[in-house]
Chains A and B, each alone.
Chain A
Amino acid sequence: MWRHMSTFAREKLNEDRKPDRVNKSLLHGLGCKLCDSRCWTATGSTCHCDCGGLNHGGGSRGFRTRAHSGRPSWILSQSRPPRLRELHIPPQSVGRSGGGGLSAVRSFLLGVGKTALVAALLAGLTAVHPVIGAVATKAYALYGHGMAGVALYNTYTKWKSGELTTPQAAGEVTRTVTGEATGGASDMFASNMVTGMKQTRVIEQISRETNVDPLVTSDMLKGTISASESQGFADLAGYIVRSEAGA
């Protein structure tokens, strides 16, 4: 069998068999400061390794979500992410949202193409606060964005440690998650709109009237429209959270 396998396939197979050893040797080679049990069980904010505190209290599995400067983030995956079947969703996560909410989350978690990390974060968030979890899940499912996972994790850890109250956490989830999660959709909308404005010579007209370079005008319009759309999504999500939480 080995003779017929490409070098890449053989390396991949070996990597899958011994993920920890391969990734750790890579990390040592790159001079990274690895997280260990001191980091995973830490409760404070002081951190001496590369995660900058993101892995604190994460248990022995140890997520690593912060990219190291100048290195691809995939190298920094210290240990394999949890598989979906290993995720534990406690029964109390049904909460005020009822069984329908849980099954929706469960089916989302089993969706193809979603990373195990984001799934774990959403499961944890939903278990602790069904309303926030439900909105975050919808936001991620609708707009799919890797950064949403990082934002969710940060908010969740702050909420868990008591740094944020429930209404504050709800606000932060809606602001940060929708901002990050809808960035791509908003950018695309803005880009299409500006293209239309260029074709209809609207940008040329604005530039003439305001004495601003057309290139600068179009770039500023793109960013401004994108920021406006992201804010619109955030306001909508905030409204949903407030009305569902009765806040």
Chain B
Amino acid sequence: MSKETFDAITVIAVRKAKFYVRSRDELLKRVPSSVDRDEVNVALRKAISLVDNSLFIGKNETVTRVIDPSTPIEQLDLDTDKIISEVIRKLSSL
């Protein structure tokens, strides 16, 4: 693995982590109290981490082929619907 690939993967992993933190809070609000929250967290973390990396690269970044780690996830114009459907697909296959 080259240094450039490693750097890009690290940035994408951090973006996934931030996406996880946001979606976890949303998800936990809807989960009944009887469900084990730790179990939900672990499954969600695993599912998000395995989602296709290209979904966490902004449209501008794809055009310029430069990933800027300082860009906040909200400004990336990510296809959130596609990410969520991928996460659900991964969750069902875990």
Contacts and interface: CB of A to CB of B under 8 A. Distances in A.
Interface stretch (A36-44, A111-119, A217-225): A217-225
A43 to B, nearest CB: 28
Given A206-B10, A217-B13, A224 B49 contact: yes
B37 to A, nearest CB: 15
Interface in A35-62: none
B53 A220 contact: no
Interface of A: 193, 206, 210, 212-213, 216-217, 219-228, 231
Interface string B21-41: 100000000000000000000
Interface of B: 1, 5, 9-10, 12-14, 16-18, 20-21, 45-46, 48-53
Contacts of B18: 210, 212
Given A212-B17, A216-B17, A224 B12 contact: yes
Contact of B53 (A213, A216, A222, A224): A224
17 contacts: A206-B10, A210-B18, A216-B20, A216-B21, A219-B46, A219-B49, A220-B14, A220-B20, A220-B48, A221-B13, A223-B16, A224-B9, A224-B53, A225-B13, A227-B52, A228-B9, A231-B52
Contacts of B49: 219-224, 226-227
Contacts of B16: 220, 223-224
Given A212-B17, A217-B17, A228-B53, A223 B10 contact: no
B76 to A, nearest CB: 15
Given A206-B10, A228-B53, A231-B53, A220 B5 contact: no
